[in-house]
Amino acid sequence: MQMQTERIKPAALNGTTPCIDVRPIAGRIGAEIHNVDLKHVTPAAFAEIYQALLRHKVLFFRGQTHLSTSDHENFASMFGTPEAHPTIPPAEGSRYVLELDGAKGGRASSWHTDTTFTIRPYKASVLRGVTIPDVGGDTVWANTAAAYGDLPNHLRVLVDSLWAQHSNDYDYAARHATMDKNASHVTNKLVSTIHRVEHPVVHVHPETKERALLLGSFMQRFVGVSQQESQYLYDLLQRYVTRLENTARWRWTTGDVVVWDNYATQHYAIDDYGDQDRIVQRVSVRGDIPRAIDGSQSRAVQ
C-alpha cells in the first residue's frame, strides 16, 4: 500500500505552494518529512515544519548525514533558545549538545518527557543519529495529548486538578537493576544538582491549547497522595499514554534527525542492542513554565 502524502499549507504562507512533503507514519503521532536539507532551511520551509510539528508531535528526517555539530545547533535554534542539559556537561566541542552513548550508560530506556524535574521542561528537542546499531536501538514516542483525550470522564475530572512532584533524585538502580559502572557514572552526573518541582498533571499546551498529561519517569508522587496510591494511579495513567494507538516507533539509520514537541510527548529508547555501538546527540530549546487548566503555574520545591 502506498504511503499517503500530506501537503501542509500553513496560513502564514498565504496559499503559496508548499515546500515540503509531510507523510504521517501513524494515525495519532509522527510524520516523516521529505524534500528538506536541514543545513539550508528557508523561512518558508521552516514555517511548514513548525506547523507539522504542532500537528504531528514528532517529525522524522532521513538523509541528513552531512550535518555538523554547529549545523545541528543552528537548526535547533530555529525552534527557540537552545539550552544545555541542566546537570550533564555538553559534548566536547559544542555548547548545547547532549551526547547519549549506549556504551557509556546513555540508555534512556524509560518513558519520560525531557527535564520535567526542572521548572521549565524543554519546549522541543532535536536528536541526531551519529552511530546506529545494525539491529535494535529504535525509539518510540507517545502522544500525551491523545492520551488525555482517551481518559474516561470520571478519571479526567480527577486528574484535571491533580499535581505531581518531579525530581532527578530517585533510585535509578532500583529502576535499572542491570546498571553497570558506566551507567552509574552517567547517573552521578544527572543527580549532581538535585531539582524538585511540582507540575500540574494536566497542563495546557502554550500554542495549540491542547490539554496533555505531564508525567514520565521523573515523576515521584502525586501531591497529597500516598506513595502506594501514587504508584497505582501513575501506572493507570501511563497505560493511556503508552497504548499502541498513541505511539510511533522509529527505526534509526545513521544521519537521521528527529524533532519532537516536548510539551505533548513522552519517549522511550529501546535497550535491545546489546554491546553494539549506539550514539545519538540531542539539542533542546528552552520551554515555558507549565500551566494548569486554571492558569496556575508549576512551582519549584528545591
The reply to whether 180 falls in a domain is: yes
The reply to whether 63 falls in a domain is: yes
Residue 44, domain CATH: 3.60.130.10
- Tell me: the pLDDT tens digits for 20-60? 999 999 999 999 999 999 999 999 999 999 999 999 999 99
DSSP-derived letter for residue 287 is -
Across the chain, the runs of DSSP E, i.e. the strands, are: 21-24, 31-34, 58-61, 82-83, 98-101, 124-131, 139-143, 163-167, 196-200, 202-204, 211-213, 219-222, 247-250, 257-261, 265-269, 279-285, 299-300
Q: Residue 254 is part of which domain span? A: 11-300
Q: What is the pLDDT of residue 241?
A: 98
Return the closest-CA partner of residue 146 out of 246, 259, 26, 267: 246
Q: Is 61 helix (H, G, I), strand (E, B) or coil?
A: strand
**What's the domain count of the chain?**
1
This prediction has a pTM of: 0.88
The reply to whether 4 falls in a domain is: no
pLDDT band for position 3 (50/70/90)?
very low
Q: What is the pLDDT of residue 271?
A: 96
Q: For the chain, report the end-to-end CA distance as a whole number of angstroms.
A: 53
